[in-house]
Amino acid sequence: MAENLKRFNEILVKSIDEAISELLSPQVLTSLYKYLNEQHGIIPDELPYRLETIYTVLDQVFGVKAARTIERHIAKHLCDKLGMKFLDTPDCTLKMYVEKAKQLS
């Protein structure tokens, strides 16, 4: 069970990396990780446990609409990697998408 969670979390972090790099740029991803580390003490491996903080930072930097778009893009990458169909659900947060994917994987 712990191995499955570890694998899921690795896929989630990779999905975050890819989605932000694709939408914004690898430089923005690097800057975001630096900010998360310096301001919130978060390293990439901890991202699966701090999804609300990620959303808060994205919201502060890019605004609500952009943050939601980034979250959906991350969720889509996650579903693709897990071989699941992505269902865009209004008002669904990244944390909610991740919980659904975790239950179905």
Q: Does residue 23 register a pLDDT over 80?
A: yes
Q: What angle do CA 80, 13, 31 make, to 5 degrees?
A: 120
Over range 5-20, report the average pLDDT.
Answer: 96
Predicted pLDDT of residue 1: 67
- Please give the residue range of the domain that contains residue 36: 2-104
Q: Are 12 and 48 in contact (CB under 8 A)?
A: yes
pLDDT tens digits, one per residue of 37-81 = 999 999 999 999 999 999 899 999 999 999 999 999 999 999 999
Q: Does residue 6 register a pLDDT over 70?
A: yes
**Which contiguous run of DSSP H or E holds residue 76?**
helix 64-82
For residue 67, what is the domain's CATH number? Answer: 1.10.1200.200
Q: How many independent structural domains does the chain possess?
A: 1
Over range 13-26, report the average pLDDT.
Answer: 96
Query: Which tokens sit at 100?
Result: 């659904």
